[in-house]
Amino acid sequence: MASLGGNVLPLGPQAQIYLAGVAVVLVVGFCFSTLLVKSTKTNDNPSLLRALWYFVYSCFLKPHEGDKQGTQQDALESFYKSQAGAYDTTRSALLKGREDMLALAAAQLEHRSVKDGQLSQNKRRIWVDIGGGTGFNIEAMAQFVDVPRFFSSVYLVDFSPSLCEVARKRFARLGWDNVKVVCQDARKFRLEDHEPVLDGGRAPSSPHISYFSQKRPEHGGVDLITMSYSLSMIPDYYSVIDTLPSLLAPNGIMGVVDFYVQSEVDVSFRNYTGGLINRHVNFLQRTFWRAWFDIDRVALEPGRRDYLEYRFGTVLNVNSRNYTLGAIPYYVWLGCHKRPMSSALPHEIVEKVDALVTESPYLHPKNHSNALSRAVERAAPEIRSKAFDAAVVNLSANLPLPSFFYQNHHWRIYYDDQLKKHTQFNDEYIYAFTWEDTRVDERILKLKSDDVVLAICSAGDNILSYALQSPARIHAVDLNPTQSHLLELKVAAYSSLPYEDFWKIFGDGKHPDFRSLLISKMSPHLSSRAFQYWLNNHHIFTKSKGGLYDTGGSKHGIRIFRWITRVFGCRSAVKALLSAKTLNEQREIWRNKIRPALLSRLVSKFVVSQESFLWTALGVPKNQLAILEEDHATSDAVCGANPTAKNTRSHAIWEYMVNTLDPVVETTHIAADNPYYLVCLEGKFTRRCHPDYLSPQAHARLSRSNAFDGLRIHTDEIDEVIARITPGTLTVAVVMDSMDWFDPGSNAAGAQITKLNRALKMGGRVMLRSAGLKPWYINEFEKLGFVAKCMGAREGKACIDRVNMYASCWIMTKTENLAPPTPGAEAESLSGSEITKLVI
């Protein structure tokens, strides 16, 4: 019943049933607890049924009154004392992500040891586990490193005497003498009170004496700090988080896993969180989970995580759900000091990254004169990257830098992942492999060690091919973030995996242990956004069917081809084609069995010629389609008999397909030497036929520690990137078929060509491919300081390359500098040699 103003209101039937149910649970609980409560003090290894009862009783039935001392320790004991022995048994299903956090932390520590040139066995590492409870985390870390050898000292800090007692027994059983259990308020823990004084160290002192007389240092000597489902149970979390920087070593790592609820709207404007994939929790779940956990004094308000991200720099960030128990939201976070410790001051690392992105010379503040500064400013005034702009805004507001600055490698350049131009792709790449013949690119470009290359990223295969030729710098550019995620994954795999694992992932397109390898091996080499993406999509490599090459927008074209072969009953013919030992045998199978189905007018009219298919499956925009149709209208196929009937889109597409596929099958052996069509037909590469980046020799070269020092991955439009590169510094720009996308005669095409002219050195080259034999923009290049040369055109039955997807390939060579766009900006168009003279 409820009382209101002295009147008694009757309860409804639903409320009565609810109260009756609560009463029954309480009665049964009381009876059952009287049978078991006497044994809770001594039973450290209860049965599963008994353990579950302890959990239910402690969490939902037992009053949290403790000894009524009113302290946090008393509250913790009230909650944990009766279930300490059963804690680990009952938390395995509830506390997800702990092993992932430990694996990520261990991978970071190992990588940093190698990077610093320190052998694992000689490195004195210290780990502090805040709120470590029963010691589960420390024992679980043994899955990833040898804890007694890897860490010189491990400190478990917890405020619950009952849990600490369980931990002491655990480590006594394991015989790990390097682990010390400290039952103490985390705010009062000082490393110097437990560690011997090292060179430059501080003498142990009482925190009560030193609190007001000494300022806490900016950093300490702890290599790893972890908090596993403890931050949400600390009432005064601000003070605890504030003590952690003074514990953490300059190059140390902090790992946290905990529950959370938050709306993405609250953090969408922050550029330092490391990505927002799955961070949003809807209103109903936010309300329910906060109320549910509040019963046990577990606080899920967003402020705890927000303050953690504010006080540290974010290295990696994962948002996930525990679907075993109702999709409870939890996060895994890895961080480091807010100030990047790889340089003395934050602005130095910002300046270094900015120089690498813009091709500007990096001049350390201590090493350059005023005259030199003036020369550089004259040569390249106000050339700054977007990463620099974002960093300046954050530093001025005392915010952490964007997470890209805290990565172990500066391959990936900062971008705002919330912009519509990036989100329009719906987190899906179009190409799982690159449709550019790298063998032809290598023959045409002949890259040298002093070349500075800018190229469209696509799936990254071409970027890796250029890297094999060791140019000075490669700027990979793509507007679609997920295309760059794919390149990042390949680079991370080179940097961390042996060849056989690398082959399984990118040769077979599958690896049953991909998720484990991603976390424990590749994660130190990935940006937070790329890591989030692949962890969220690990099923691509682990599912039984499909694989990497059955994903992306281009998968629709491959699947439709398979559907056509099934409908026309020629699946066996496709297998026979891939088994053909000679080119003549391949030709016969094509002409008699596959070509009549695939190149039928019916397929062309109702499938291939549709704009939706051309864009979704093949990435062909309407302007490129118009170029194709224009060439067809003036071709011999139309100019002959009955031109009106043949001058249609359907016929144009059909003719283009014939001119593409017939020469490929007639002149290249697909199973032996054409990986581009092999992967479409087979769904994977073979050891016999694959892109050059998948060879053992390529892996041996690109797995070296400095192989990708010159790589910069830009997530932006080409225009935006070249506008922020110092004029006269590029030597090669590979724009693929992107010029086909411009509206014919548009100012946008001329503007991009002008920017390319200004970015390139004299004699620099632009390489492009087109669906047209002589596209309209060739004249634009020739008007704007370039000389055009056709490097291949589809004529007759010859292939211009093994892909043969384009009608022509061109090299545009810069022969003159364009006039500056505005008065007083002459210096911006100076060549690289002129800049060098100014600096000297």
Burial of 705 (C-beta count, 10 Å sphere; 0-12/13-18/19+): exposed
pLDDT at 375: 45
- What is the token pair recorded at 821? 């766009």
Quick: pLDDT tens for 342-369.
Answer: 544 566 778 777 877 887 765 544 444 4
Cα separation of 43 and 39, whole Å? 6
In the chain the first and final C-alpha atoms are separated, in Å, by 90
Phi, psi (deg, nearest 5) at residue 9? -100, 130
Per the listing, tokens 């609810």 go with: 18
Q: Are strands 808-814 and 786-793 parallel, antiparallel or unpaired?
A: antiparallel
Picking from 730, 558, 72, the residue whose alpha carbon sits closest to that of residue 548 is: 558
**401-to-388, 490, 525, 643, 832 alpha-carbon distances in Å:** 10, 26, 18, 63, 31
Q: What angle do CA 684, 689, 694 make, to 5 degrees?
A: 75
**Cα dihedral 680→681→687→690 (10° resolution):** -30
Q: How does DSSP classify residue 473?
A: E
pLDDT at 367: 44
Question: Which residue type occupies 738?
Answer: S
The number of beta carbons lying within 10 Å of the beta carbon of residue 89 is: 18
* DSSP of 549-563: GG-STTHHHHHHHHH
- Cβ contact 773:629 at 8 Å: no
Give Cα 211 to chain centroid, integer Å.
42
Per the listing, tokens 């087109």 go with: 770
pLDDT along the chain (840 residues), means of 10: 38 52 51 46 50 50 53 56 51 84 97 67 83 92 96 94 90 95 92 71 50 65 95 91 94 96 91 94 94 86 95 96 92 92 61 78 49 44 81 89 92 94 92 93 96 96 96 96 97 98 97 97 97 97 91 81 80 92 94 84 60 54 81 68 58 81 93 94 94 97 94 95 93 94 88 95 96 92 96 85 93 92 44 30
**4-to-1, 10, 11, 648, 705 alpha-carbon distances in Å:** 10, 11, 13, 80, 75
Picking from 170, 134, 179, the residue whose alpha carbon sits closest to that of residue 152 is: 179
Q: Are strands 153-158 and 179-183 parallel, antiparallel or unpaired?
A: parallel
- What is the token pair recorded at 64? 């949290």
Alpha helices in 81-124, H assignment, sequence order: 87-91, 98-115
**131-to-73, 138, 160, 314, 317 alpha-carbon distances in Å:** 12, 12, 9, 21, 21
Alpha helices in 497-603, H assignment, sequence order: 499-503, 514-517, 528-536, 539-542, 555-567, 571-579, 583-589, 595-598, 601-603
Q: Would you mind telling me the total number of residues written for the chain in this entry? A: 840
pLDDT at 636: 61
Q: Reduce the DSSP state of residue 695 to 3 states and report it.
A: coil
Cα separation of 205 and 215, whole Å? 13
Q: What is the largest CA-CA distance in the chain?
A: 101
Quick: pLDDT tens for 57-78.
Answer: 555 545 555 545 556 555 555 5
pLDDT at 68: 57
pLDDT at 730: 96
Phi, psi (deg, nearest 5) at residue 538? -65, -20
- What is the token pair recorded at 622? 């309407």
- What is the token pair recorded at 299? 């606080």
- What is the token pair recorded at 810? 């061109």
Cα separation of 281 and 581, whole Å? 56
pLDDT at 2: 37
- Cβ contact 463:701 at 8 Å: no
Answer positive or negative: Cα dihedral of 130, 134, 139, 140: negative
Question: Which residue type occupies 315?
Answer: V
pTM metric for this prediction: 0.85
Domain ranges across the chain:
10-90, 96-337, 346-406, 555-682
Q: Reduce the DSSP state of residue 225 to 3 states and report it.
A: strand
pLDDT at 95: 87
Cα separation of 664 and 676, whole Å? 11
Cα separation of 758 and 728, whole Å? 6
- What is the token pair recorded at 188? 């009062």
Picking from 271, 337, 265, the residue whose alpha carbon sits closest to that of residue 302 is: 265
Continuous segment of H or E residues that includes residue 250? strand 248-259
pLDDT at 378: 46
The number of beta carbons lying within 10 Å of the beta carbon of residue 598 is: 19
- Cβ contact 582:672 at 8 Å: no
Q: Reduce the DSSP state of residue 481 to 3 states and report it.
A: helix
pLDDT at 351: 78
Homologous superfamily of 96-337 in CATH? Vaccinia Virus protein VP39 (3.40.50.150)
Cα separation of 209 and 804, whole Å? 78
Q: What angle do CA 108, 121, 219 make, to 5 degrees?
A: 50
Picking from 793, 787, 796, the residue whose alpha carbon sits closest to that of residue 771 is: 793
**Cα dihedral 499→500→505→507 (10° resolution):** 90
Q: Which residues pair with 8 in a beta bridge?
A: 3
Q: Are strands 328-337 and 248-259 parallel, antiparallel or unpaired?
A: antiparallel
**43-to-84, 168, 196 alpha-carbon distances in Å:** 9, 16, 37
Question: Which residue type occupies 680?
Answer: C
Picking from 401, 357, 313, the residue whose alpha carbon sits closest to that of residue 715 is: 357
Answer positive or negative: Cα dihedral of 103, 105, 107, 109: negative
Question: Which residue type occupies 515?
Answer: R
